[in-house]
Amino acid sequence: MKKIILLAVIACSLNGHAQVLGKLKEKAGGKSKLDLFTEVKLDFPQYENHIGQVCFSTEEFERTLPEDKYIKTYNLGDKLSIRSFMANSPANSAMLQQAESGKKPKEINAKKSYFERCKLVYILYVDGKMVSGTSHAETFDKANMTGLATHRADLNDGTEKDFLGESLYRALLEKPEFLTPGTHKLKLELLPLINGDPEGFQYKPIAVGEIDMVVPKEIKVTQADCFPKSAMNDPKLEAEVLKACKTAFKENAGNAIKAILAFDDIFIVRGDYNAIIKKSFMAAVACKNSKGEVWYEYYVFDKMYDGTKYLPAVLSKEISVNGKVPPNGKSVNPACLKFLK
């Protein structure tokens, strides 16, 4: 499973922090001469009323979305869009926090090109426990990171498109221990992030938001939240793959419940004198154990050639196909089982 790299976070009072940043910003224009990036002026009420906050809505969260469209309670499975309103842009926030820590403006200004690489990361909590964070590898518009003090993301946009924030939602669905029926407190923190930071400076949240999340008895999930799509319709090959896994898994054979031909590439492997040795391909296998945990993994399979025909598929001893390594599998919510046919 791919592990999302998370930043260490420091608990803080955001209102107090915003006040400190405001003072630093005023100081930056005076004797200290902190050379901040030029920011887009935001003077509409939604921004002014929610500085330092992550706000939630089931609507498309444009900057000037009417505040009566903001929500305080969310039903898990519905669309959920968020907008963060910050006192300063992520890059300026990073510079100001370093100044707040005692670093001299001259030292910070000398690294201004370093702060131009600033990104941001969201951290998601449920009932005070951290669930996941967005990847440090996400890309953002440079002008927005240096000059814009608001940012939008989507936890669940209701489509198969993959927007920033949806990895948090999928990570949440993978953890049924956080999703017992009833009302839970969902919290998001937004932090500035600079890749390759040699100092390991610990930035504080620049926007925070909480919402009551109501988890129904039957969680609503879409097919995009669950298993990979099938790229080939070949029931015979699916049956071979499933049988190959059950044979290889031995005592855990019962865990394998469905083969998914997630790729349409099947490669013929040849040996000396161009003689065919086998066909190799990758496929996913959906599994469920006695605890009710559901997941899928990718494996490499071979169909050996006996000189006249290809034999049934077996789990390969190879770790790649045509130079490509299978993707990592992942856990999924048990509600996803309804999509297996």
- The answer to whether the CB of 80 falls within 8 A of the CB of 58 is yes
What pLDDT does 25 receive? 46
Q: What ranges do the domains of the chain cover?
A: 14-218, 226-339
- Assigned token pair, 238: 């699916």
What pLDDT does 19 receive? 43
What pLDDT does 31 receive? 36
Q: Mean pLDDT across the stretch 168-197?
A: 92
Query: Picking from 62-71, 156-165, 264-273, 314-323, which range would have the lowest pLDDT averaged per residue?
Result: 156-165
- The answer to whether the CB of 86 falls within 8 A of the CB of 18 is no
Under the banding of pLDDT at 50, 70 and 90, the label for residue 196 is: confident
pLDDT digits (tens, 9 = 90+) for 106-141: 999 999 999 999 999 999 999 999 999 998 888 999
**Nearest-angstrom CA–CA distance, 263 and 229:** 9
**Nearest-angstrom CA–CA distance, 281 and 50:** 52
What pLDDT does 220 receive? 87
**Residue labelled with tokens 């003689």:** 275
Q: Mean pLDDT across the stretch 218-241?
A: 92
Under the banding of pLDDT at 50, 70 and 90, the label for residue 321 is: very high
pLDDT digits (tens, 9 = 90+) for 215-225: 999 888 888 88
Q: Which of 193, 145, 168 is closest to 7 using CA atoms?
A: 193
Integer-rounded Cα radius of gyration of the chain: 25
What pLDDT does 309 receive? 95
Q: Mean pLDDT across the stretch 45-49?
A: 97
Under the banding of pLDDT at 50, 70 and 90, the label for residue 33 is: confident
Is residue 306 scored above 70 in pLDDT? yes
Under the banding of pLDDT at 50, 70 and 90, the label for residue 32 is: low
In the beta sheet, which residues pair with residue 122?
Answer: 190
Q: Mean pLDDT across the stretch 204-224?
A: 93
Is residue 20 scored above 90 in pLDDT? no
pTM for this entry? 0.76
In the beta sheet, which residues pair with residue 314?
Answer: 302
**Nearest-angstrom CA–CA distance, 238 and 283:** 9
